[in-house]
Amino acid sequence: MAKVSFNDDLCKGCGLCVNACPKKILQLDNSRLNNKGYHPVSCTDMSACIGCAFCATTCPDVVITVER
């Protein structure tokens, strides 16, 4: 059981976390815009998250919190 959450308005849609996730469950959500005007990242399948924090470690904008 693991969970990622995003401080959406800090996300700059850079995609580094998308690439870092070994489970490939992160993607930029093209249906949403945040306050900065970027498509923020979102998790497509939380049940597959292993809580490795590769995403949060790679994020330059401290967007991601990981629980396990």
Partner 1 sequence: MAVVFEATKGLTGKPFHYCPGCTHGIIHRLIGEVMCELGILEETVSVASVGCSYNSYEYFACDAVQAAHGRAPAVATGIKRNIKDKFVFTYQGDGDLASIGAAEITHAAARGEKITAFFVNNAVYGMTSGQMAPTTLLGQVTTTSPFGRDASYQGYPINVSELLSNLTGSAYIERVCLTDYKNIQAAKKAIKQAFLAQQANLGFTMVEFLSTCPTNWGKEPLEAMDWLKEKMLPQYPLGVYKGADIDFKKLEADFKAARGGENA
Interacting residues toward ligand SF4 by CB under 6 A: 2, 4, 11-17, 20-21, 23, 25-26, 41, 43, 49-55, 58-59, 61, 63-64, 66
Residue whose C-alpha is closest to residue 10's, from 65, 47, 63, 66: 63
x/- binding map, residues 38-67, to partner 1, per CB under 8 A? x------------x-xx-xxxxxxx-xxxx
H or E element at residue 6: strand 3-6
Three-class HEC string of 20-57? HCCCCCEEECCCCCCCCCCCCEEECCHHHCCCCCHHHH
CB of 65 to ligand SF4, least distance (A): 10
Judged by the rule CB under 8 A, the positions of this chain that interact with partner 1 are: 1-3, 7, 10, 12-16, 19-20, 38, 51, 53-54, 56-62, 64-68
